[in-house]
Structure 1
Amino acid sequence: MECPCLGRYSWLDFVFAVVGVCTFLFDVGSDVWVAREFYIHGELFWFSALLGFMLFSSVIVQMFSWSWIKHDSQLKDYDSQTEGRRVLLCGDPKRATLTAFLHVFQLGFFLRHISAIWLGFCVWWRGDGGSEYAVYLTHDLSLLRLIETFCESAPQLSLMIYIMLHTNHARTIQYVSAMASTTSIAWMVVDYHRSLRSFLPNANQQAWPSSMVYFLWNLLLIAPRVLTVALFTSVLPQYIAAHYLCLWLVFVLWAWLQGTDFMEGPVGEWLYRATIGSIWYFSWFNVAEGKTRWRSVIYHSFIITDSGILLFTWWWLRDPESTKSYYFFFLLFIPLSYLLGLLVKALYYCCFHPKHLKLEGLGKSGEDEMDAGVAQTASLQTDSAQPKVVSHRPQVVNNRMAKHVNNFYSTTVYPVAKTEKQDKNHDGLNTRCWFS
């Protein structure tokens, strides 16, 4: 079996790693500053809500991060360079204890950023080995940032819009901040999409025009959903938690019925399904093998129905006097934006997604990949006339990204590594050895 390896780490990857940690620190700093402003002005409810979103998101991200570190420490077949680099996040027992301590105090995500920067500096500037593992870390960071986006940034954006509606007053900077936050959420989706595609051998097929169209339809679908939730909250704030909980339970059940297989144990898998439930509250995310078109149709139909109910409830219970300047705009913008987003999404898969390219042995055409959503990736192309060269040197393969790619293509595009425990016991977790 051919085992392609991850791409080379470049100076651009290093720049993005530095920008990523700066963005992370700015995001935390801005959240703390806003929370402080709420506290100073005596707005304890909004202060508590903001801190709750921050803490909830941080705990979820730390749990994923630590679970992945524990799993990675069990992987075998690393080459000598990677084995040496792996100690950046775990390594000897003392360093493993320190890593666990930092995760408990919500610093594990920051540690990953610093580790990625340091390893990237060693690889790019000093010319040391470990390029594949540096790319490995950046893929994990991309997925963690996506989780943080929908567990913190999206709810916070709804809270910001709710405050603007509740007070019936907003400064220009608040409008700009809301639009910038919405754009940032949509861009994070694109960033993860490109990260997943860069995991594939033919990543150069993802052109920037294609990414821009991908960004546009995510922006057009996410923005009205966030706005609808904020509008509903402005008239029935006491029911928004119950609404979220009911939909979250439905989404978690749906993820379970789809038979997700992402984490390396039942506890981790239920954590993943719970997180998917939070993501689905705002945006579609494909999680299992098989045809995704009808899953996407079911999801969008459900969200359109739910958003319609929320929007009607707001219109029915709104204060006509305080909302007369903008209610018609919202009633027109929200459905048109979502409809336009679906049309742009269809346009993407018809014209910009390289679905006509075939992968030998893929077992399905690009048409079957329609509507794979946030993590959907483009079809692969291999040249069957070229001889397959089997390398006996272990390659670094990111199991998590490999599983996602395999799910989205319903085949083994990347064989997945086994842990030593799985290799001995064959415990049926559907992981695949990346060599044969």
Structure 2
Amino acid sequence: MPKLTIRAIRYKRTNGRTYPNFNSLLKNSDTLQEVKEEIKFKPKHILGNILAIIMFFADYASDIWVIVALHAEEGWSVNAIITICVVIIPLCILNITSAIWYHQDHSGPREGFCPVSSKFLVWETLYLAIGHLLLCGPVVRILHVMWCSYRERGPRAQAYKKLRLYYERDAAYLSLMDSFLQDAPQLLLQSHILLTRDSETLSDTWVALVQIGSILMSLSSMSLGIVSHVSACHSADLNLIPLSTQATLTHWAWRMFVLTSRMLSFSLFISAYKYGPLIFVGVHVSIMFIWIRFLGSNFCGSRDNKSRPVEEFFYDCLVAYMYTFDIINISPGQTRWRNTFYYTITFLETIALVVLWTYAINHTVTDLAPWTYSTEFQAIMIAIIFTFFFIGIAFIFIYYTRYHKSGEKKRHANQDSFTTRIQHSSTIPSL
């Protein structure tokens, strides 16, 4: 199978099948109304975008609150400084990436990725520049999506629909990057501080409560970031059926439970070992990187699908790092087998992390918070880790049997186009 550029919305001939592009599909009178119903901007999408903006500001507000609380408790301690770096550096990377993508999208009809050739007006350029300088690039993109949806009512409705679907995908991918670059390290850092600090030396219990709130916010942002990315990719690609509300909620439950189990086991392991986590991450990322290179991707390819090996190498490194926490799909193929492989490795790693943590706190480590040594605490943590993991696996099973298109594999084995799939949409659960 040829490597496809994910960011560029293109529909090429793959495995002998020609996938229709947007315009040719809309010319089919039999599927026009159904396609419009599937991809039009609905009130639930407006609510989703408003929720995304609220979550963005709430997430960073909780992080700032943690910084203020740590400074009030400890002054300019190592914990406070590292927390600042974990918040600021990923946010700068995120906004720089967003600005670069905007430049690439509108650099010209031959090189830009954007499906509609256009140049920004002066006021649009100023708006984008100011928004990114204020480190609000993700919010700028969400507002841009909503603006495109409003312009869909005008004479250039189809052009703005293309733009809206395209910008939705980019906004979702930036949210995904934010989840793994900022939320994951912040969650692990605050968990480590809580597990290694003696509660008797804490002068203000509100500091611990603020840290717990930040941890929960980071966990929610990570799960929502993955789900929004999957949803946007399915909505933008006409060869995939958009996620229904039920499928979205099931997918979110899958990610939320699995991530909770993964992050909790990792946090406990980090609290008991100084250099063990570096070895664990190094081995895991190396295995994931080899696997990703074997699967193949062309995310950084040009508009004419030419590969860019250097950029692709660094992108694969980033994805391998993301795979430390959870899996995302980056190339065509059977995702259920990839998930089976990944979560089997994750389960074995979880067992190893829990065993090593239990051994350490009972035999070698003596500088943790006193309550971490109690048998009750250890039993509760182990129960939560494995219970949440298997609940997440149960939601994966529900998602793939009820909402994933391959669940209808036998029924629709002879269907060769998205048009045929849409015509049978009454019998296929929306992805």
Q: Could you state the TM-score of these two structures normalised by the residue count of structure 2?
A: 0.70
Aligned to 1:423: none
**Which string of whole-angstrom CA distances, capped at 9 and with x for unpartnered residues, describes residues 17-73 of structure 1?**
344334323333332232233234226222233233224423443454244334322
Which piece of structure 1 moves more, 233-242 or 304-313? Answer: 233-242
- Distance in 2 (CA, whole Å) between partners of 1:274 and 1:90 is 37
**Which string of whole-angstrom CA distances, capped at 9 and with x for unpartnered residues, describes residues 249-305 of structure 1?**
332232222221111223332232122112101101122233344433332222222
Aligned to 1:23: 55
Aligned to 1:337: 388
Q: Tell whether 2:240 aligns with 1:208.
A: no
Confirm or deny: 8 A CA contact 1:14 1:120 kept in the other structure: no
Helix, strand or coil at the partner of 1:263? coil
Helix, strand or coil at the partner of 1:76? coil
- Distance in 2 (CA, whole Å) between partners of 1:242 and 1:44 is 26
Q: How does 1:39-50 map to 2 (within 5 A)?
A: 39-40=71-72, 41-42=74-75, 44-50=77-83
Shift of 1:107: 5.3
Q: Tell whether 2:373 aligns with 1:353.
A: no
Q: How does 1:393-408 map to 2 (within 5 A)?
A: none
Aligned to 2:31: none
Aligned to 2:86: 53
- Distance in 2 (CA, whole Å) between partners of 1:137 and 1:219 is 25
Confirm or deny: 8 A CA contact 2:288 2:323 kept in the other structure: yes
Aligned to 2:304: none
Count of residue pairs brought into register by the alignment: 364
Aligned to 2:294: 257
Letter of the structure 1 residue corresponding to residue 287 of structure 2 = V
- Distance in 1 (CA, whole Å) between partners of 2:356 and 2:414 is 51
Confirm or deny: 8 A CA contact 1:18 1:117 kept in the other structure: no
Backbone CA RMSD of aligned residues: 3.9
Q: Tell whether 2:171 aligns with 1:141.
A: yes
Shift of 1:327: 0.6
**Which string of whole-angstrom CA distances, capped at 9 and with x for unpartnered residues, describes residues 154-184 of structure 1?**
2212222222212254756655553454234
Shift of 1:228: 0.9
Which one of 310, 316, 319 corresponds to residue 273 of structure 1?
316
Sequence identity, in percent?
18
Letter of the structure 1 residue corresponding to residue 181 of structure 2 = C
Aligned to 1:69: 102
Letter of the structure 2 residue corresponding to residue 344 of structure 1 = F
- Distance in 1 (CA, whole Å) between partners of 2:121 and 2:47 is 19
In structure 1, list runs of 5 or more residues that go unmatched.
364-377, 385-408, 410-436
Confirm or deny: 8 A CA contact 2:254 2:396 kept in the other structure: yes
Which piece of structure 1 moves more, 211-220 or 162-171? Answer: 162-171
Q: Could you state the TM-score of these two structures normalised by the residue count of structure 1?
A: 0.70
Letter of the structure 2 residue corresponding to residue 295 of structure 1 = R
Q: Tell whether 2:215 aligns with 1:178.
A: yes
Letter of the structure 2 residue corresponding to residue 221 of structure 1 = V
Compared with structure 1, are the counterparts of its residues 197 and 326 closer, same or farther at alpha carbon in structure 2 (3 Å cutoff)?
Answer: same
Q: How does 1:16-415 map to 2 (within 5 A)?
A: 16-40=48-72, 41-42=74-75, 44-62=77-95, 64-74=97-107, 76=109, 82-84=116-118, 86-87=119-120, 95=125, 106=135, 108-123=137-152, 129=157, 130-167=160-197, 169=199, 175=212, 177-201=214-238, 206-264=243-301, 265-318=308-361, 322-323=371-372, 324=374, 325-354=376-405, 355-356=407-408, 358=412, 362=416, 381-383=421-423
In structure 2, list runs of 5 or more residues that go unmatched.
1-17, 24-35, 200-204, 302-307, 364-369, 425-430
Compared with structure 1, are the counterparts of its residues 285 and 103 closer, same or farther at alpha carbon in structure 2 (3 Å cutoff)?
Answer: same
Letter of the structure 2 residue corresponding to residue 156 of structure 1 = Q
Aligned to 1:374: none
